């Protein structure tokens, strides 16, 4: 067998072989040009919960100017909006000219997520082509509910607030969660809501109208199932004055110049206390009760029944309270003449009249015309009359006359002794001598004894016979006879 030495290649053949070899080592492959465009293959416009990784990868294809895939081209994936992140950041195209990457969205919900894919010249680093991916981040599960704004809520008691109350339901990243049911409630006396439940809008905000309750600080809650409720408050002002109530609702005094303070509470139409209202006090019966205009101190001025009125300045609102003044005695004394306190003396058949002295209340003020009850310790000896007269029914004896006024009483001793007849100075007879209160005896005219002439009076003036006008006896005729030794 004959072995032939290898033939030498021509210069043209050697140049062709070099070109072929160079084309096989090129990143674009044999006959493929430089990257001219980049197409989005898959992964655009995905939706996922904010902060989560998209379910599908981002896929791009790099082509030359004739639409042929460019293999081995380095591309970069860059997050340009939304705060998310990509897994590697760069990738090399495969034989189909495709490159892939994973994208985790940012925490801000909405159409705010962007990733750009860029190809650069390998030698110069100049940008050549790029593509853009978008994604929609949705809110996550409700994590909390809170007041939607920093407004200071205030209003009038019993009235619906001009602005509705608003709360916002957010996920763990603070994104508003739509379609969540919120229940509104207020403690007893703090008002009500309409509607009682509402759902959050696209921004995660729910609203309800609050009709305020009692004046002061109103409290309310907005609750989402499974979450701590949002605590809400409002400053509630009382409405206009609708009624005034006096306490106590009546007054009773047992002595003159006693005093007690009346108080008035002013309420609006919803029963809330109106703290800023000014009240004036007036007495309609000043002879019975007097009252201080501004502080409501009422003072008993005289016996009887009076009325005191509390009126609210600037309105027709008023209330009236009844005041009764009834003096209750704490001391009394029986008397007949002056301040002499007995014992007293009388004769059978001759009535004796006893009178009350001073009857005073607890503050020392005199009582006018007190109701008095007279009693006798021995009704068989002397029977009491309604006005302090006692008529002896037996010839002799002793009894106690008692005057009772309320819970107070006083008693005096009365002695009944037989009457004696003595000659009147000047030779006249027929006058009776009866015991006097000081232990002596008093000469008594027959008409006095019969009760037809008041004690100390005479049917004739001295020296004027036939004159019918009663007259006081001269002092000389009203003498006391020292007749203890008679009979």
The pair of three-digit structure tokens given for residue 173, joined into one six-digit string: 């990243």
Last residue of a domain, one of 323, 346, 366: 323
Average pLDDT across the chain, whole number: 81
* Of 391, 416, 441, the domain-final residue: 416
Say if residue 150 is in the same domain as residue 221: yes
| pLDDT tens-digit map of 72-85 | 999 999 999 999 99
Please name the helix (run of DSSP H) or strand (run of DSSP E) that holds residue 235, with its range, or none: strand 230-237
Return the SS3 of 448. helix
Residue 281, judged by CB atoms within 10 A of its CB (0-12, 13-18, 19+), counts as buried
**How do residues 26-67 score in pLDDT, each as one tens digit?**
444 456 788 999 999 999 999 999 999 999 999 999 999 999
Domain residue limits at 291: 243-323
CA–CA distance, 232 with 241 (Å, rounded to integer)? 28
455 and 474 assigned to the same domain: yes
pLDDT of residue 344: 85
Assign 449 to helix, strand or coil. Answer: helix
DSSP for 4-60, please give it. Answer: PPPPPPPHHHHHHHHHHHHHHHSTT-TT---EEEEEEEE-TTEEEETTSB-SS-EEE
The two structure tokens encoding residue 246: 């006096």
Name the DSSP letter for residue 147: E
- Rounded Cα distance between 3 and 299, Å, is 153
Read off the CATH number of the domain in which 312 is found.
Answer: 2.60.40.1080
Considering 94-108, 226-240, 271-285, 397-411, the range whose residues carry the highest mean pLDDT is 94-108
12 in a structural domain:
no
Asked whether residue 426 is domain-assigned, the answer is yes
| Contact status, residue 308 vs residue 289, Cβ threshold 8 Å | yes
Q: What is the mean pLDDT of residues 217-222?
A: 94
Q: Is 370 in the same domain as 341? A: yes
Q: Is the pTM of this model over 0.75?
A: no
Q: Which of the listed residues 323, 350, 367 is the one where a domain comes to its end?
A: 323
The percentage of residues in the chain with a pLDDT greater than 90, rounded to a whole number, is 53
User: How far from 460 is each of 137, 448, 457, 464, CA to CA, in Å?
Assistant: 131, 13, 9, 6
Task: Work out how many domains the chain is built from and give that number.
Answer: 5
453, part of any domain: yes
Residue 259, both tokens: 């005093």
């Amino acid at each position: 067998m004959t072995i032939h030495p290898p033939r030498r290649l021509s210069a043209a053949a050697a140049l062709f072989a070099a070109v072929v070899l160079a084309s096989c080592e090129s990143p674009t492959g044999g006959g493929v040009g430089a990257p001219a465009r980049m197409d989005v293959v898959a992964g655009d416009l995905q939706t996922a919960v904010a902060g989560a990784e998209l379910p599908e990868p981002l896929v791009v294809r790099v082509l030359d100017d004739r639409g042929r895939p460019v293999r081995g081209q380095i591309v970069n994936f860059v997050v340009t909006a939304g705060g998310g992140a990509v897994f590697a950041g760069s990738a090399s195209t495969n034989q189909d000219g495709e490159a892939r990457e994973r994208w985790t969205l940012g925490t801000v919900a909405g159409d705010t997520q962007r990733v750009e894919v860029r190809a650069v010249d390998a030698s110069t680093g100049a940008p050549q082509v790029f593509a853009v991916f978008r994604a929609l981040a949705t809110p996550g599960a409700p994590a909390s509910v809170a007041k939607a704004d920093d407004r200071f809520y205030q209003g009038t008691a019993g009235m619906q607030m001009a602005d509705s109350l608003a709360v916002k339901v957010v996920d763990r990243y603070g994104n508003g969660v739509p379609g969540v049911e919120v229940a509104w409630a207020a403690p007893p006396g703090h008002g009500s809501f309409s509607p009682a439940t509402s759902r959050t809008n696209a921004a995660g905000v729910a609203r309800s109208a609050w009709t305020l309750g009692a004046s002061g600080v109103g409290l309310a809650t907005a609750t989402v199932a499974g979450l701590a409720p949002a605590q809400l408050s409002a400053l509630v002002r009382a409405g206009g004055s609708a009624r005034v109530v006096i306490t106590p609702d009546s007054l009773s005094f047992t002595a003159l110049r006693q005093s007690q303070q009346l108080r008035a509470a002013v309420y609006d139409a919803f029963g809330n206390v109106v703290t800023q209202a000014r009240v004036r006090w007036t007495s309609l019966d000043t002879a019975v009760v007097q009252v201080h205009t501004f502080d409501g101190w009422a003072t008993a001025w005289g016996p009887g029944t009076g009325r005191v009125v509390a009126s609210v300045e600037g309105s027709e609102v008023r209330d009236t309270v009844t005041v009764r003044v009834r003096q209750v005695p704490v001391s009394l004394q029986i008397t007949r003449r002056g301040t002499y306190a007995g014992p007293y003396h009388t004769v059978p058949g001759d009535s004796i009249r006893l009178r009350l002295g001073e009857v005073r209340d607890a503050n020392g003020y005199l009582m006018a015309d007190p109701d008095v009850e007279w009693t006798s310790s021995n009704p068989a000896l002397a029977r009491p009359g309604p006005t302090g007269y006692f008529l002896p029914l037996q010839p002799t004896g002793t009894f106690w006359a008692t005057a009772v006024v309320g819970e107070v009483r006083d008693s005096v001793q009365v002695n009944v002794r037989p009457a004696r007849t003595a000659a009147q100075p000047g030779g006249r007879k027929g006058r009776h001598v009866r015991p006097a209160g000081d232990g002596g005896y008093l000469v008594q005219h027959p008409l006095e004894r019969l009760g037809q002439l008041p004690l100390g009076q005479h049917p004739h003036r001295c020296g004027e016979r036939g004159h019918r006008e009663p007259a006081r006896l001269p002092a000389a005729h009203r003498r006391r006879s020292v007749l203890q030794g008679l009979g």
